[in-house]
Structure 1
Amino acid sequence: MTMQTHIKWLGIVLICFAGMAGQAIAGQVEIVHTQFISRSDTWQVYTTLRHGDMGWEHYADAWRVVTEAGDVLGTRTLFHPHVDEQPFTRSQGGIVIPKDTHIVYVEAHDKEHGWSPQRVQVDLRQAKGERFTVQRKE
């Protein structure tokens, strides 16, 4: 085999691996945006998710707010698939975030893949950032 043939086969193999990696990631839940609104001592959180819901066996079924240490502050359970409603937004109220906590994360879950490694970091001291907004209504 010539060097050009080796390079051609290597390129084909790399393209195949890249395609498989894309398929593995494609099934994860995407957090499109999250909005935190303070209400006295609690927070109302609106989170928009995108996921290729397939039906009852494979759909985005929860999102949660966690601290940097991984403590769960609030969870929004999603009780049914949203096959024909993408992306979709759901909210959870009454979330208590300790006053000295400035950074939290929103994580999303689906029935097949579990908790997605893609999460949104929210800095509660900022009005907006990458995929989040914060409003204070004291």
Structure 2
Amino acid sequence: MNSARKVRARVVTSLAVALMLSLAGCSPSSTSNSTSELSTTPPANSSSDPATFFPDVEHVEVTASGTNSFDFAVTISSAYDTPEQYADGWRVQAPEGTVLGEHTLAHDHASEQPFTRTQSGVEIPEGITEVTVEGRDQANGYGGTTVTVGLPGR
């Protein structure tokens, strides 16, 4: 293989890897169990319309996927979504507030409202019978309408 072909092959490979990594940030499923927290109070420079502060969780379906492991299908509405401000994820919380799982979205869903994404393999300790799912806005943090759901088999 000559030098030009080697360079072209490396460029194509690099672009393919970059594309895969960027798409993975908003894949339909996630297994992240992050515990980061953001503010639930909108910044002073935000719109005065509370509907533009936070996304609303509209619906949550939970299925058991193993011992103490659950998969979540979460429907979020964020009618204000634009590339500049959008719903960028959600978290699954135990009744006392412990974050059990978090899903991050990499881009806006302005043309897809409401939208549903899944999170797989959220480990939930025995004894917890229900969880709350809360949406997150990239600028304002966590807030909006939450949904509390029972865990199947518990």
What amino acid sits opposite 1:34 in the alignment? Answer: V
Which residue does 2:49 correspond to in 1? 24
Counterpart of 2:50, as a letter, is I
Q: Which amino acid is the alignment partner of residue 75 of structure 2?
A: T
1:59 is matched with 86
Q: Which runs of 5+ in 2 are unaligned?
A: 1-47
Selected match of 2:59 from 33, 58, 82: 33
Q: Which one scores higher on RCO, CA 8 angstroms, separation ≥ 6?
A: 2
**Percentage of matched positions with identical amino acids:** 36
Contact 2:57 2:144 (8 Å CA) reproduced: no
Q: Does the residue aligned with 2:82 lie in a helix, a strand or coil?
A: coil
Bigger Rg, structure 1 or 2: 1
Out of 72, 92, 95, the position equivalent to 2:119 is 92
Q: What is the CA–CA distance in structure 1 between the aligned matches of 2:65 and 2:92, rounded to whole Å?
A: 16
TM-score by length of 1: 0.69
CA distance in 2, matches of 1:120, 1:33: 7
Tell me the residue number matched to 1:73. 100
Number of corresponding residues: 104
SS at match of 1:26: helix
Residue 97 (structure 1) shift? 0.9
Letter in 2 for 1:54: T
Runs of 4+ in structure 1 deviating by more than 6 angstroms, as ranges, are none
Q: Which has the higher strand share?
A: 1
Deviations 1:67-99 (A, max 9, x none): 112111111100111111111111010101112
**Aligned CA-pair RMSD:** 1.7
Query: Which amino acid counterpart does residue 26 of structure 1 have in structure 2?
Result: A
| In structure 2, C-alpha distance between the alignment counterparts of 1:83 and 1:48, rounded to whole Å | 14
Counterparts of 2:51 and 2:75 in 1: how far apart (Å)?
Answer: 17
- Please give the alpha-carbon distance, in whole angstroms, between the structure 1 residues aligned to 2:108 and 2:82: 8
State the secondary structure of the residue aligned to 1:53: coil
